[in-house]
């Protein structure tokens, strides 16, 4: 029960597991909040007219459709969240039937295009019909994997067949301005085994970068730069990502899917090179990507302004999806480190402690007295909804699928990548993980079942975890501690990851961060927020003494229970927990004294 | 022959002069280039369809109009440039007749709205019909003042009468989303004496800030923030400017015009307070304003990123117009200092040495290898034109009217504010100014005619000019050296403004500039550009030693003749001269060693 289940013949090092459960701790709390948010977000989809669009297209209601052509995708993401969450929603089955009823006889499906009478696929650079289709594919695969419900899968395959008949090397060659369909098609191929879906995904990946996304009817007065459409350079040639961040990372993740399923080592090398360039030059300390509001775009290398960080929630989720695919492909701990960084510091900050309010833009610095509109601006804190509502249901489906990222299996054992109170099973090998992580670095892994032969238990040792020990013995960081033996039920392995607060210095080439320092502890990036500072102290006036000792204190009463850090009168909270006490000044990077 | 000629009863300290001429030096060269650019820009207006729109509306041609409804304004700015320049253009008279022929019988005039059949004034938040009208008024006043040609003035008054009959406290109360008409109406009032124009301007000023710019048909999905329309707060209450920078400064300049003509001390105090806040918190070291690409907007206080500085050319021109009005109103040298800063470092950098290529966005840092689209991005250097072509003709009209900013008169003498080889006359008092400024700080003022009574010759001593002397005697900086005596033809006053290179340190609250330093000499801000550095040195790797001595050398062969500065192997050029050798890396703020 996980997104990304490579075919048996796929070129992967690690295999996802389907039975991982989170049993307690921070992630259990946040997943419970996410579950409670599912019906709330459904009501917002109703209020915003998303459901009505589909009902009109299905003939269940009359009227005119509202909003952009890619709106259906928000509904599909919500259905995907319901599927991964597993607790169901009373309206989900009926909604699935409405979607099926809305679909044209020839398989085409898009409520806004159909009802408005617009010709399909005539302005893919802005309609994003492929993008919406890709989200349907992901939702359908989730429903099929999670509950065996194939209703949405039938709709998805009919639409995918229509796409495969309409686009390709011997048919129409335009591309959608917003990638995503590549991931969707590969997932549908994984679930159904239909080769044409993989072939179409490969076609979309290989023909991008030649200006095909900006061909028919394209209006160059807005975003004339092909990079805005991830269309400036072929993927095999690109050294880094640029332009619209969400589009670029979704595309890279889709290209990684194609590389995995086709065993394309050249393509995998290209996306690994790009991931490395983004990590070194274009990623905020929180893991978020995207430096520019204008065009929601990556900036130049080392252009990482904390105050104007865009770091769109969807871009963080795309990075997570990309890192996860690279992790499966390579088995390298660096990608699992990225998954951890992104989950705690780029995805989690996008949602309120209540689970129901969201950031679209994840700033690293909100100034005292900042003001902004009630849409994307983070000045007013998280919002219930946005005119472009891509982010909220994206958070929902991601948190609902969170257990998938914790562990993987191989024929030879299991690998634990993310630490949380959880139970994990890979075939005959099952363990229980007990930990107070991320507040406490002690992790106990208890074997519940094991094969009689020798197997390997691999435990990720994060790159930041200097001094880590396994059963009291020091282990190197930035890789896996691998224990190979015959395990027996009741065996227990004790991992200790020292959570000493640490200073993070910016790269000297990042102009916007010169003279500043950030603070982290374990997997968490910290921030200063106004309510925690002494009365009368203005946040902008705080200067941080890198020599001052940092002390940690767990505060069960604060912000749902967090460990705060203190140094020379300055109090820091985990970045993810900011903006839960009203809109206040906050900063991650603090000027040094 | 100057923009802004207050009525005799207006509340001003200084009066503009009509006979000032620039006779040599840098400004004479740039005005000659500007004159040569007038026919070039006319051809671009033809090619872009601007002239055709008006000809279609006039019935001189058939077809459909193209572009935004405010497009006519670019034509009006070009006509204003022709008027101030004074050398004429063969198509200007015919164009004036076309505009008159396009005007409806009831006085309404807007080619795009008329030809498309759209109802006038139904979407002022985006059509900007008032804005275009204001530019017509300014052009018409320029034509009347410069050459006595009242043809355009007749068109302007008929449109202004239509506006005054349609809008006002007892008529329609919506406001244009883009201010400017306020300045235009006051200028038209100054020229014609018609009180209803001033009354309408005052009405527009006083009713702004209550959401009237975003009322009818407004689509909140784009720029839902009222600040984008300078409509978030009444002008008398605002402490600073925010939102769209051009709109905000045009509005502030128009409010200053209203304050001057109505003697409204409260209003003048409000705009002075706002100017001071902008200067302290929201102005780049170059004088440019606007920190955000998104919404072309002011940022929060101290949000001044050099790499993503928007600093739109039109915003610099609006700041210049605002500073000039405050200078006339108050007579304070601080505003003349701003006029100087803006002319050399915010307006002049927007145009190439050839006079024909323009920046829309004036960055303070172009990175090595930067890329961007061929529209507003400064990565590719100055451009001949833009889809939204507001900036090029705005530069033209500003440089054509440049002599107006050099000096003023009072009943009691004359004041020289800007130093250039020039001749100045205020009534019976006439002087000639000889100087190699801004390369040389020596200024000789020779009296050519003088009244027999005692009068005052006031010479601005810029705030940066420590060590300045008049006739060898030290004078305080940041004000005026005032010489009161009976002058005689042939009398000569020698002013010396020491042009020692100096370091500029950023305010510690500007996060984006921490650890950096800028360099200035006299009125000029300097920059490092790649072509001047030793081979193999990458611009981003340069670190500046604030203790290294700075040496100046005049290079007649370089960039049309500039004084370069050198310090410890680093060469600096005047910021205004960058990007004339192809697109290269450049930065104004340099990290310290």
Q: Which residues in chain A have Cβ-Cβ distances shorter than 8 Å to B229?
A: none
Q: Is A71 an 8 Å CB contact of chain B?
A: no
Q: Specify the 3-state DSSP secondary structure of B158.
A: helix
Tell me the CB-side half-sphere exposure of residue B526, using CA atoms within 13 A.
30
Contact present, A181 and A168 (Cβ < 8 Å): no
Residue A221 has pLDDT above 70, yes or no: no
Q: Per-residue confidence at B211, pLDDT binned at 50, 70, 90?
A: confident
Percentage of chain B lying above the pLDDT 90 cut = 95
For residue B305, give the nearest of A308, A367, A509 by CB distance: A308
Contact present, B461 and B468 (Cβ < 8 Å): yes
For residue B514, give the nearest of A227, A293, A591 by CB distance: A591
For residue B512, give the nearest of A375, A377, A511 by CB distance: A511
Residue B221 has pLDDT above 70, yes or no: no
Question: In the prediction, which pLDDT does A337 show?
Answer: 98
Residue B181 has pLDDT above 70, yes or no: yes
Region A102-120: what's the mean pLDDT? 97
The residue among B48, B220, B300, B306 with the most chain A CBs within 10 A of its CB, best to mutate, is B300
Question: In the prediction, which pLDDT does B63 show?
Answer: 95
CATH class of B407-496: mainly beta
Q: Per-residue confidence at B25, pLDDT binned at 50, 70, 90?
A: very high
Residue B518 has pLDDT above 90, yes or no: yes
Answer whether B373 sits within 8 Å of A224, measured CB to CB: yes
Spell out the SS3 assignment of B97-122: HHHHHHCCCCCCCCHHHHHHCCCCCC
Residue A345 has pLDDT above 80, yes or no: yes
Question: Domain A25-212+227-405, CATH 2.60.40 — does that match?
Answer: no
Q: In 3D, which of A137, A16, A142, A82 has the Cα closest to residue A404? A: A16
Contact present, A364 and A307 (Cβ < 8 Å): yes
In the block, tokens 């320029």 appear at B142
Answer whether A512 sits within 8 Å of B227, measured CB to CB: no
The CA angle B145-B151-B156, to the nearest 5 degrees, is 80
Q: For the segment B130-169, what is each residue's pLDDT rounded down to a tens digit? A: 999 999 999 999 999 998 888 999 999 999 999 999 999 9
Q: Specify the 3-state DSSP secondary structure of A591.
A: strand
Residue B590 has pLDDT above 70, yes or no: yes
Length, in residues, of chain A? 593
Residue A306 has pLDDT above 70, yes or no: yes
Both tokens of residue A252?
């890279």
Q: Which residues in chain B have Cβ-Cβ distances shorter than 8 Å to A223?
A: 373
Q: Which residues in chain A have Cβ-Cβ distances shorter than 8 Å to B365?
A: 511
Percentage of chain A lying above the pLDDT 70 cut = 99
Q: Which residues in chain B have Cβ-Cβ distances shorter than 8 Å to A211?
A: none
Q: Per-residue confidence at A219, pLDDT binned at 50, 70, 90?
A: low
> CA-to-CA distance for A45 and A56, rounded, in angstroms?
15
Q: Is A370 an 8 Å CB contact of chain B?
A: yes
- Cβ of B483: how many Cβ atoms within 10 Å? 17
Length, in residues, of chain B? 593
> CA-to-CA distance for A182 and A134, rounded, in angstroms?
7
Residue B545 has pLDDT above 80, yes or no: yes
Average pLDDT value over all residues in chain A: 96
Percentage of chain B lying above the pLDDT 70 cut = 99
Answer whether B292 sits within 8 Å of A306, measured CB to CB: no
Answer whether A591 sits within 8 Å of B375, measured CB to CB: no
Region A144-162: what's the mean pLDDT? 95
Region A336-354: what's the mean pLDDT? 98
> CA-to-CA distance for A393 and A94, rounded, in angstroms?
19
Contact present, A313 and A395 (Cβ < 8 Å): yes
Q: Which residues in chain B have Cβ-Cβ distances shorter than 8 Å to A365?
A: 511
Q: Per-residue confidence at A278, pLDDT binned at 50, 70, 90?
A: very high
- Cβ of A215: how many Cβ atoms within 10 Å? 14
Q: Is B380 an 8 Å CB contact of chain A?
A: no
Q: Which residue of B has its CA nearest to A296?
A: B294
Ramachandran sector of residue B16 (left: φ over 0; alpha: ψ -120 to 50; beta: rest): beta
Answer whether B227 sits within 8 Å of A371, measured CB to CB: yes
Angle between helices B50-57 and B92-102 (to 10 degrees): 50
Q: Which residue of A has its CA nearest to B67?
A: A221
Q: For the segment A41-74, what is each residue's pLDDT rounded down to a tens digit? A: 999 999 999 999 999 999 999 999 999 999 999 9
User: How distant is the alpha carbon of residue B110 from its chain centre?
Assistant: 25
In the block, tokens 């192997």 appear at B569
Q: For the segment B369-419, what is each residue's pLDDT rounded down to a tens digit? A: 999 888 899 999 999 999 999 999 999 999 999 999 999 999 899 999 999
> CA-to-CA distance for A534 and A537, rounded, in angstroms?
6
Q: In 3D, which of A592, A586, A589, A587 has the Cα closest to residue A515? A: A592
> CA-to-CA distance for B433 and B418, rounded, in angstroms?
10
Region B225-237: what's the mean pLDDT? 95
Q: In 3D, which of A297, A355, A324 has the Cα closest to residue A32? A: A355
Strand extents, DSSP E, B81-156: none
Q: Is A343 an 8 Å CB contact of chain B?
A: no
Pairs of residues, one from chain A and one from chain B, whose beta carbons lie less than 8 Å apart: 94
Q: Specify the 3-state DSSP secondary structure of A92.
A: helix
Residue A215 has pLDDT above 80, yes or no: no
Both tokens of residue B138?
């300014």
State the smallest CA–CA distance between residue B589 and chain A in angstroms.
10
Residue B586 has pLDDT above 80, yes or no: yes
Question: In the prediction, which pLDDT does B1 show?
Answer: 74
Q: In 3D, which of A21, A42, A15, A13 has the Cα closest to residue A401? A: A21
Residue-range domain boundaries for chain A = 25-212+227-405, 407-437+442-496, 502-591
Q: Which residue of B has its CA nearest to A223?
A: B373
> CA-to-CA distance for B342 and B207, rounded, in angstroms?
30
Let me know if B469 is exposed, middle or buried by CB neighbors in 10 A (0-12, 13-18, 19+): middle
What number of H helices and E strands is found in chain B? 15, 21
> CA-to-CA distance for B282 and A75, rounded, in angstroms?
42
Q: Is B305 an 8 Å CB contact of chain A?
A: yes
Region A495-502: what's the mean pLDDT? 97
Q: Per-residue confidence at A373, pLDDT binned at 50, 70, 90?
A: confident
Q: For the segment B407-445, what is each residue's pLDDT rounded down to a tens digit? A: 999 989 999 999 999 999 999 999 999 999 999 999 999
Let me know if B304 is exposed, middle or buried by CB neighbors in 10 A (0-12, 13-18, 19+): buried
β-strand A455-461 against A413-416: which pairing, if any? parallel
Alpha helices in A103-174 (DSSP H): 111-116, 124-127, 129-147, 151-166
Question: In the prediction, which pLDDT does A411 show?
Answer: 86
> CA-to-CA distance for A158 and A165, rounded, in angstroms?
11
State the smallest CA–CA distance between residue B135 and chain A in angstroms.
24
Q: Which residues in chain A have Cβ-Cβ distances shorter than 8 Å to B373?
A: 223-225
Q: Which residues in chain B have Cβ-Cβ distances shorter than 8 Å to A589?
A: 511
For residue B372, give the nearest of A225, A372, A373 by CB distance: A225
Q: For the segment A383-431, what is each residue's pLDDT rounded down to a tens digit? A: 999 999 999 999 999 999 999 999 999 989 999 999 999 999 999 999 9
Question: In the prediction, which pLDDT does B225 show?
Answer: 85
Q: What Cα–Cα distance (Å) separates residue B247 from each residue in A62, B198, B226, B300?
A: 43, 20, 12, 17
Q: For the segment A528-581, what is each residue's pLDDT rounded down to a tens digit? A: 999 999 999 999 999 999 999 999 999 999 999 999 999 989 999 999 999 999
The CA angle B580-B586-B587, to the nearest 5 degrees, is 135
Q: In 3D, which of B116, B110, B127, B129 has the Cα closest to residue B63? A: B116
Question: In the prediction, which pLDDT does A217 show?
Answer: 66
Q: Per-residue confidence at B217, pLDDT binned at 50, 70, 90?
A: low
Both tokens of residue B580?
């004339």
> CA-to-CA distance for B255 and B271, rounded, in angstroms?
7
- Cβ of B135: how many Cβ atoms within 10 Å? 28
β-strand B442-449 against B479-485: which pairing, if any? unpaired
For residue B307, give the nearest of A303, A307, A367 by CB distance: A303
Answer whether B300 sits within 8 Å of A308, measured CB to CB: no
Q: Specify the 3-state DSSP secondary structure of A193.
A: coil
Q: Per-residue confidence at A211, pLDDT binned at 50, 70, 90?
A: confident
B489-528 residues touching A, CB cutoff 8 A: 508-509, 511-512, 514-516
In the block, tokens 């989170």 appear at A22
Q: Which residues in chain B have Cβ-Cβ distances shorter than 8 Å to A293?
A: 292-294
> CA-to-CA distance for B94 and B476, rounded, in angstroms?
53
Alpha helices in A49-117 (DSSP H): 50-57, 72-85, 92-102, 111-116
Q: What Cα–Cα distance (Å) separates residue B524 from each residue in A51, B306, B341, B396, B495?
A: 60, 17, 7, 21, 18
Q: Which residue of A has its CA nearest to B377?
A: A225
Spell out the SS3 assignment of A297-363: ECCCCCCCCCCCCCCCHHHHHHHHHHHHHHHHHHCCHHHHHHHHHHHHHHHHHHECCCCCCECCCCC
Q: For the segment B84-93, what is each residue's pLDDT rounded down to a tens digit? A: 999 899 999 9
Angle between helices A92-102 and A72-85 (to 10 degrees): 140
Q: Is the dihedral of CA A10, A15, A21, A24 positive or negative?
A: negative
Region B264-280: what's the mean pLDDT? 98
For residue A224, give the nearest of B308, B365, B375 by CB distance: B375
Diameter over CA atoms, chain A: 69
Answer whether A511 sits within 8 Å of B306, measured CB to CB: yes
Q: Is A387 an 8 Å CB contact of chain B?
A: yes
**Predicted ipTM?**
0.90
Contact present, A553 and A567 (Cβ < 8 Å): no
> CA-to-CA distance for B293 and B360, rounded, in angstroms?
11
């Amino acid at each position: 029960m996980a997104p990304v289940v490579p075919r048996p013949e796929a070129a992967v090092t690690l295999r996802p597991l389907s039975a991982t459960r989170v049993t307690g701790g921070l992630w259990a709390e946040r997943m419970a909040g996410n579950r409670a948010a599912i019906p709330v977000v459904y009501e917002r989809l109703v209020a915003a007219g998303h459901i009505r669009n589909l009902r009109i297209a299905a003939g269940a209601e009359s009227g005119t459709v509202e909003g952009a052509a890619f709106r259906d995708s928000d509904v599909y993401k919500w259905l995907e969240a319901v599927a991964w969450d597993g607790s169901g929603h009373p309206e989900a089955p009926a909604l699935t039937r409405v979607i099926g009823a809305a679909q044209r006889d020839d398989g085409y499906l898009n409520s806004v295009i159909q009802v408005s009478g617009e010709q399909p696929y005539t302005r893919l650079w802005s309609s994003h019909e492929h993008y919406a289709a890709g989200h349907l594919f992901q939702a359908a695969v989730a429903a099929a994997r999670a509950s065996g419900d194939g209703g949405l899968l039938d709709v998805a395959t009919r639409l995918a067949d229509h796409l495969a008949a309409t686009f390709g090397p011997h048919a129409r060659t335009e591309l959608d301005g917003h990638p995503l369909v590549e991931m969707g098609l590969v997932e549908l191929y994984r679930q159904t085994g239909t080769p044409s879906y993989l072939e179409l995904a490969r076609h979309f990946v290989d023909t991008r970068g030649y200006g095909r996304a900006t061909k028919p009817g394209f209006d160059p007065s807005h975003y004339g730069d092909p990079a805005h459409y991830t269309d400036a350079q072929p993927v095999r040639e690109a050294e880094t990502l640029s332009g619209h961040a969400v589009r670029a990372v979704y595309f890279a993740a889709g290209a990684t899917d194609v590389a995995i399923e086709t065993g394309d080592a050249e393509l995998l090398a290209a996306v690994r090179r790009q991931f490395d360039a983004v990590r070194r030059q274009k990623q905020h300390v929180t893991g978020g990507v995207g430096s520019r509001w204008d065009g929601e775009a990556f900036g130049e290398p080392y252009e990482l302004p904390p105050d104007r960080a865009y770091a769109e929630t969807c871009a963080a989720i795309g990075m997570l999806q990309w890192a996860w695919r690279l992790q499966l492909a390579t088995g390298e701990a660096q990608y699992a480190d990225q998954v951890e960084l992104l989950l705690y510091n780029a995805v989690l900050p996008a949602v309120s402690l209540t689970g129901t309010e969201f950031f679209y833009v994840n700033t690293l610095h909100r100034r005292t007295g900042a003001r902004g509109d009630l849409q994307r601006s983070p000045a007013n804190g998280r919002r219930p909804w946005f005119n472009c509502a891509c982010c909220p249901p994206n958070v929902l489906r991601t948190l609902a699928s969170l257990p998938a990222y914790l562990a993987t299996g191989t024929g030879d054992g299991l690998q634990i990548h993310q630490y949380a109170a959880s139970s994990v099973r890979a075939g005959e090998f099952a363990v229980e993980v007990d930990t107070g992580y991320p507040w406490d670095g002690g992790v106990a892994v208890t074997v519940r079942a094991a094969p009689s032969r020798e197997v390997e238990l691999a435990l990720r040792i994060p790159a930041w975890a200097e001094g880590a020990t396994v059963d009291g013995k020091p282990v190197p960081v930035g890789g896996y501690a691998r224990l190979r033996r015959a395990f027996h039920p009741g065996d227990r392995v004790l991992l200790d990851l020292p959570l000493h607060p640490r200073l993070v210095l910016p790269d000297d080439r990042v102009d916007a961060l010169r003279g500043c320092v950030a603070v982290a502890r374990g997997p968490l990036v910290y921030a200063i927020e106004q309510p925690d500072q002494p009365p009368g102290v203005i946040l902008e006036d705080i200067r941080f003494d890198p020599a001052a000792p940092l002390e940690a204190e767990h505060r069960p009463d604060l912000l749902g229970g967090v460990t705060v850090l203190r140094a020379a009168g300055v109090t820091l909270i985990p970045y993810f927990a900011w903006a839960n006490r009203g809109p206040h000044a906050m900063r991650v990077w603090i000027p040094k004294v």
